[in-house]
Structure 1
């Protein structure tokens, strides 16, 4: 979970000059950039913040975790805090009280979940391996990790509730297929329900599931408006009698007359399309069912629940081999551009999708096609067509009978059309951000370069939120931007109360990143409420004053945003392997590690150890180190006395509530710092 949170907040916390940020102890300020300060030939870098009345605050870079980005969907109401004012503290305390209540509720929900029992689903190794060999692609490392996480979930008696978040076309469906394989071909066979938001996706999943399970004794059926009434009744009977293994359907699966004989696994594809009420009905299909949800762009509330630990969260962040970013153009709608884009794609034997937000706009686009490109065969598609017509039209387009498909957002959810590598989105300002991202993802699923033309009507004045959505789409062309979209969606739409349906909440008072940190702390405090003598870890940040230059030099990395990103990475290190990974990245991109960077890591490590030992200040002198405890309350006085009596570490009292660690005459700087780290570990 910590790794996933890190991935999300790295994408959510890109600071540009002028951005609003929050200092945990000082409140809302404005980011002014990084400032290098040198004292007695010791160089350090600080985060420069501006507060009310143009007051400045310089935050040591090793305290970067005190800073988080502040986002709001109504920037005009943001006011800077006044340094030294009690206003921020009062607001933060108010939110903290609400978070305490949320933390208790989350612990209660987790306890209820732990109290339920689900069927233990284990794979049959031979059958499972055979099924996996049918996958026609090479799995990515992320994909394999997520598959393993899901399979481990299914083996537990605790009901699974996991969100698999991965970009469009990154292989989430294969995770679902392998989970289904464990459920229907494993040691304890159960039924599987796969619910999707559209009839088109029902068609696609039915085809895919039948192909993958073709060689296995698995019965598959669908329930949606594509079925005749007679077919639906027949499939419902089979489902109730346990004579069907996998049922794929739309929200029609939620009907009261749909009953299962032995439902064990529920897969929710494109979960962002289902509301809170629908999801509760899904859970009621069987209170002890395992649930695996899939989404490229989870809605704010779902992502919030996942980051808070109510739902387990897995991320597929790496793209499939040879996948290329979609080249994206955002521009006013223009007939000439439309014609050139279509001709260019047809020349390379591809297909074009034109998406418009309303059925009434389709005839207008058909006329433009007839006028500009009468020789190119086109077909239209929307959700109000009869089921057999939808099947026929999509099949004809997939087979290449028609080269251009004009449609509504019916193609948004999961549709995979081979050879479709250009998409034109008409009136893009009428779509939501996640919708735009999903629609754009209908192209570029292979190794060919794909193009997206996101257009708006030239004479239409765009709203502020519509402009914001288009700006986000303009900025995100790289592969794996699902978390960036989720973060931006939170900015534009608001965050949502953790335990309520409304898309507003206390998060806007303190920002998402700080809210999550506060929530994690409150959950931990609630679990350890019996030990109230120990002060909260959140209450202070140690000041570590070593006589070394500790920073990433500008002549090593000149871009401030890149330096900031690495500062955040260093601050979030918890394991030695993570440090080695960052060092490899630095060496590969910027060359050998400078001593100043090594010093920075040392300062951050000592800061973390001091925090664990409740040491508020570490001051280096020529003869040793002075240690001062937070609120003059050592964590364990008996332990301190034991260490002093032992005599191995030259540690002594230096006045009340202070310790002095002596540097021996023969010790080097390196060995002295190692000794300091060791003593802080002993004091923890």
Structure 2
């Protein structure tokens, strides 16, 4: 270690890989240019700011599946760049998440199912004082299981021996704590059982769940909880989120939900989370983006909340999404969409989960798509009847006169400009799809 530290100081070492040891005050760098922080969520603000103190101009690359709220917010606000890797390894499958009450039957079935296919099981119990009792319970419950125990309070030699036995296959069930949260990659381990999952944070659950499913085999994560009435509302929301967001690459969405529930903390302080429930993450991020644009001297234009009146049924039917909470979550996601690309992604997600879109749901998404385009164009309201649709612009809308004249000329009388800043479009048929397409096309040609 002395030789490495000396090399850092005199410049003979170009790249150093280390732990928190590199953050201590006795470490000196001759010319630090790039800092790569892996598993960023495990580092505190003080740690990262300490590295940046060493040299004023340091490029920082942080890697994580679930960024902490403060870091994610800095990226969403445009203060830091963000790059998302969404392509999973070849043949990798998503992890099936099962939410269940703690009980012998579900535990036995989960372990036996994995052992029968030649795999291994993690059983996460995050209380060291009774972890051995849990191991004995599993041995009596599944006699065929070869059970070992590993936790952070064991001596280095003992835990190394247990992990070696598990990696080699001599053990097929490992009762452990959250020490497996990162740095563990065992392809044969494809079932994880998390006891008292209600006591874990959202990002923490996602990280622990990721210890399985690291091969081509289908993996399972069992989140065990006590009786439903014991759970707090916050715990229920966390568990529901981890169950719903189980597809590959969902870490970013998990982190975004964590940001909304915990808050972003202080941008210039040491808090990595803090409440922003007063305005919500979408509005808060929008306010930050506008403030950043003003500081850069850019024009900030507020989008108009367009009133849309299409004479058609537009909603999510009860027989399409039966669960009221899931239906409400879908409405919230649709209402918060700010781009056509995001809306298309939501539509794909609905089809994957619930099947083909019924007419009412398709109408809702079509109206939302029109609303997004209309908001950018400063449209005050849009009305559509069986024969025509009208687009009324707000008084401060900057509609290019030359494009309006060109549009009217090309339409051969099917589009007219009438008083009160309104365009009137003749429709070939009374369907909502036709009206929405005509309005969108008109706005695209004008802006």
Q: Answer whether TM exceeds 0.5 for this pair.
A: yes
Question: Does the 8 Å contact 1:335/1:368 carry over to 2?
Answer: no
**Given the superposition, is the C-alpha separation of residues 334 and 322 from structure 1 closer, same or farther in structure 2, using an over 3 Å criterion?**
same
Note if 1:511 corresponds to 2:280: yes
Question: Does the 8 Å contact 2:403/2:445 carry over to 1?
Answer: no
1:395-447 C-alpha deviation (Å, 9 max, x unpaired) = 33212233332222111113111211222323334332322222122112112
> Which residues of structure 2 form unaligned runs of 5+?
none
Given candidates 264, 280, 293, the residue that maps to 2:49 is: 280
Secondary structure of 1:257's counterpart equals: coil
1:372-387 to 2 correspondence within 5 Å? 372=141, 376-387=145-156
Q: Distance in 2 between matches of 1:648 and 1:329?
A: 60
1:250-298 C-alpha deviation (Å, 9 max, x unpaired) = 2112122233344433221221111111121132344333322122222
Which residue number in structure 1 is paired with residue 92 of structure 2?
323
**Given the superposition, is the C-alpha separation of residues 673 and 493 from structure 1 closer, same or farther in structure 2, using an over 3 Å criterion?**
closer
Question: Does the 8 Å contact 2:391/2:424 carry over to 1?
Answer: no
Which residue number in structure 2 is paired with residue 419 of structure 1?
188
Q: Pairwise CA RMSD of aligned residues?
A: 4.8
Per the TM alignment, residue 363 of structure 1 is displaced from its structure 2 partner at its CA by 2.4
Question: Does the 8 Å contact 1:644/1:652 carry over to 2?
Answer: no
Q: Distance in 1 between matches of 2:367 and 2:239?
A: 43
Per the TM alignment, residue 476 of structure 1 is displaced from its structure 2 partner at its CA by 4.3
Question: Does the 8 Å contact 2:124/2:176 carry over to 1?
Answer: yes
Q: Distance in 2 between matches of 1:485 and 1:568?
A: 19
* Worse-matched range after superposition: 642-651 or 490-499: 642-651
Q: Distance in 2 between matches of 1:596 and 1:344?
A: 39
1:323-347 C-alpha deviation (Å, 9 max, x unpaired) = 3333334444445554454344333
1:200-248 C-alpha deviation (Å, 9 max, x unpaired) = xxxxxxxxxxxxxxxxxxxxxxxxxxxxxxxx22332344344444432
TM-score normalized with structure 2 length = 0.74
Given candidates 604, 608, 616, the residue that maps to 2:380 is: 616
Per the TM alignment, residue 453 of structure 1 is displaced from its structure 2 partner at its CA by 3.1
Which residue number in structure 2 is paired with residue 131 of structure 1?
none
Which residue number in structure 2 is paired with residue 537 of structure 1?
302
Q: Distance in 2 between matches of 1:288 and 1:634?
A: 43
Which residue number in structure 1 is paired with residue 339 of structure 2?
572
1:519-558 to 2 correspondence within 5 Å? 519-528=288-297, 536-538=301-303, 540-543=304-307, 558=320
Per the TM alignment, residue 367 of structure 1 is displaced from its structure 2 partner at its CA by 3.2
Per the TM alignment, residue 364 of structure 1 is displaced from its structure 2 partner at its CA by 1.8
Which residue number in structure 1 is paired with residue 127 of structure 2?
358
* Worse-matched range after superposition: 407-416 or 389-398: 389-398
**Given the superposition, is the C-alpha separation of residues 400 and 515 from structure 1 closer, same or farther in structure 2, using an over 3 Å criterion?**
same
Note if 1:345 corresponds to 2:110: no
Note if 1:395 corresponds to 2:164: yes
Which residue number in structure 2 is paired with residue 469 of structure 1?
238
Q: Distance in 2 between matches of 1:460 and 1:624?
A: 54
TM-score normalized with structure 1 length = 0.52
Secondary structure of 1:249's counterpart equals: coil
Which residue number in structure 2 is paired with residue 404 of structure 1?
173
Which residue number in structure 2 is paired with residue 291 of structure 1?
60
> Which residues of structure 1 form unaligned runs of 5+?
1-231
Q: Distance in 2 between matches of 1:332 and 1:357?
A: 17
Q: Distance in 2 between matches of 1:331 and 1:647?
A: 62
Secondary structure of 1:292's counterpart equals: strand
1:541-572 C-alpha deviation (Å, 9 max, x unpaired) = 334667x75858979x9449598599669962
**Given the superposition, is the C-alpha separation of residues 289 and 626 from structure 1 closer, same or farther in structure 2, using an over 3 Å criterion?**
same
Number of residue-to-residue matches in the alignment: 433
Q: Distance in 2 between matches of 1:580 and 1:431?
A: 29
**Given the superposition, is the C-alpha separation of residues 328 and 599 from structure 1 closer, same or farther in structure 2, using an over 3 Å criterion?**
closer
Q: Distance in 1 between matches of 2:82 and 2:60?
A: 12
Secondary structure of 1:451's counterpart equals: strand
Q: Distance in 2 between matches of 1:642 and 1:433?
A: 50
**Given the superposition, is the C-alpha separation of residues 364 and 286 from structure 1 closer, same or farther in structure 2, using an over 3 Å criterion?**
farther
**Given the superposition, is the C-alpha separation of residues 395 and 244 from structure 1 closer, same or farther in structure 2, using an over 3 Å criterion?**
farther
Q: Distance in 2 between matches of 1:369 and 1:457?
A: 18
Secondary structure of 1:316's counterpart equals: coil
Which residue number in structure 2 is paired with residue 85 of structure 1?
none
Q: Distance in 2 between matches of 1:675 and 1:332?
A: 53
Which residue number in structure 1 is paired with residue 398 of structure 2?
635
Question: Does the 8 Å contact 1:351/1:420 carry over to 2?
Answer: yes
Which residue number in structure 2 is paired with residue 448 of structure 1?
217
Per the TM alignment, residue 448 of structure 1 is displaced from its structure 2 partner at its CA by 1.6
Secondary structure of 2:79's counterpart equals: coil
**Given the superposition, is the C-alpha separation of residues 413 and 672 from structure 1 closer, same or farther in structure 2, using an over 3 Å criterion?**
closer
Secondary structure of 2:84's counterpart equals: strand
Secondary structure of 1:438's counterpart equals: helix
